[in-house]
Homo-oligomer: A and B are copies of this chain.
Amino acid sequence: MSGAMQPLAAEAIAGKVAAGARLIRWLEDGDPRGRAALRDLYPHTGRAHLIGITGPPGAGKSTLVDALVAEERQRGRRVGVIAVDPSSPFSGGAILGDRLRMQRHAADEGVFIRSMGSRGQLGGLSRATFDAVLVLDAMGYDRVIVETMGVGQDELDIVGLAHSTVIVNVPGLGDEIQAIKAGLMEAGDIFVVNKADRDGADQTLRQLELMLHLRTRHPSGDDWQPPLLAVVSTRGEGIAALVDALDHHASHLHDSGGFEARLGSRSHHLFLGLLRDGAARRLMEQALDQPEIAALVEAVRSRRIDPYSAADTLVARIHLQP
């Protein structure tokens, strides 16, 4: 693939914040210039340590991330943050407490914070988050933190893209919320009990310790033992230990080949998603030219044919030209 680089891509690679922000906006809007720029950015990615932070609503994730950013900055690292809120129709940093957080770090050029809502993304929220992570990676941020709410398939996918996943818990949440942990237990590389100065913190720590003990081995056969940390984000307690644990995990991944392996499976996953969407789009385009297929699609809508048979009929006609 030759040709001049997308000018905005060049600016983003040079670390220009405005260029990165505009690029992410293009990607969210499905602007074809965004896709073209991603191609140019891609060779400049693969360096950032991607950290996923997840946990139930009310776990204090925003405050934790805020404290984490401050500690990483003290250690001289540039940090990008993507706060994912699938329930929000807003994006671009407009949601809830994010304005406040952005104010605190607004004067710091080493920090980039961006919120992603669920509206307007082609291919779902996880795709848009993948894309934004690539942009921040190419912009040269040393750490890219993705904060999600820890529920839903999209969010499990997002967790899957991180090098290091931090699961945040708090004392005293109800049963319905605690169940979230079940699905995430195996995805965690580091476990945190936030608000550890609250009543019931010891009990929550003990429960987690037990669950970690019962935890099945990581699917990749990785022999990492996930640490369990008590943190009080509002006072910064335990935050240095958390960053130490993240650094330790990063070294572990580099030594074991896990860093490259996770990058590779992320690329593969992204490729399959793109293939899926691209194939469906191309098929529908070609179908429009064939009246017989347009009739099939209409028969599905009016329920004269079942969607299973109709899809099979179309799929059987797909051929990949050599």
- Indicate how many identical chains form the complex: 2
Chain B residues contacting A272 (CB-CB under 8 Å) are 280, 284
Q: In the complex, which of the residues B155, B183, B274, B280 contacts A89, with contact meaning CB atoms closer than 8 Å? A: B183
Interface residues of A in 144-158 (CB under 8 A from B): 149-156
- Would you call A221 an interface residue if the criterion is a C-beta within 8 Å of the partner chain's C-beta atoms? no
- 1/0 contact string of A79-100 vs chain B (CB within 8 Å): 0000001111110000111000
- Closest residue of chain B to A270 (Cβ to Cβ) is B307
Contact check, A290 vs B320: say whether CB atoms are below 8 A apart.
Answer: yes
Chain B residues contacting A118 (CB-CB under 8 Å) are 153, 156, 183
What is the bound-complex CA distance between A125 and B177, given in angstroms?
Answer: 19
Closest Cβ of chain B to A274, distance in Å, is: 4
Classify chain A's interface size: 35 or more
- Would you call A286 an interface residue if the criterion is a C-beta within 8 Å of the partner chain's C-beta atoms? yes
Given A152-B155, A300-B271, A315-B279, are A87 and B179 neighbors across the interface (CB < 8 Å)? yes
Closest Cβ of chain B to A258, distance in Å, is: 15
- Closest residue of chain B to A269 (Cβ to Cβ) is B307
Contact check, B283 vs A320: say whether CB atoms are below 8 A apart.
Answer: yes
Contact check, A278 vs B312: say whether CB atoms are below 8 A apart.
Answer: yes
Given A317-B321, A318-B320, A320-B318, are A274 and B177 neighbors across the interface (CB < 8 Å)? no
Contact check, A263 vs B303: say whether CB atoms are below 8 A apart.
Answer: yes
Closest Cβ of chain B to A91, distance in Å, is: 12
Chain B residues contacting A312 (CB-CB under 8 Å) are 278
Closest Cβ of chain B to A159, distance in Å, is: 12
Q: In the complex, which of the residues B38, B271, B277, B281 contacts A297, with contact meaning CB atoms closer than 8 Å? A: B271
What is the bound-complex CA distance between A125 and B152, given in angstroms?
Answer: 9
Contact check, B287 vs A320: say whether CB atoms are below 8 A apart.
Answer: yes
What is the bound-complex CA distance between A281 and B319, given in angstroms?
Answer: 12
- Would you call A251 an interface residue if the criterion is a C-beta within 8 Å of the partner chain's C-beta atoms? no
- Closest residue of chain B to A293 (Cβ to Cβ) is B320
Q: In the complex, which of the residues B58, B277, B318 contacts A174, with contact meaning CB atoms closer than 8 Å? A: B58
Top 3 A-B residue pairs of the complex, sorted by shortest distance between their CB atoms: A152-B152, A274-B311, A278-B315
14 contacting pairs across A/B (C-beta < 8 A): A86-B151, A87-B150, A88-B182, A90-B182, A96-B179, A264-B301, A267-B300, A267-B307, A268-B300, A271-B307, A282-B318, A317-B322, A318-B319, A318-B321
With A286-B319, A293-B320 given, can you name 14 additional A-B contacts, CB distance below 8 Å?
A57-B177, A86-B152, A90-B182, A97-B175, A151-B151, A265-B301, A267-B303, A272-B284, A274-B307, A278-B312, A283-B318, A286-B318, A290-B322, A318-B321
- Residues of A at under 8 Å CB distance from B? 1, 35, 38-39, 42-43, 46, 56-58, 85-90, 95-97, 117-119, 124-125, 149-156, 174-177, 179-180, 182-184, 263-265, 267-268, 270-272, 274-284, 286-287, 290, 292-293, 297, 300-303, 306-312, 314-315, 317-322
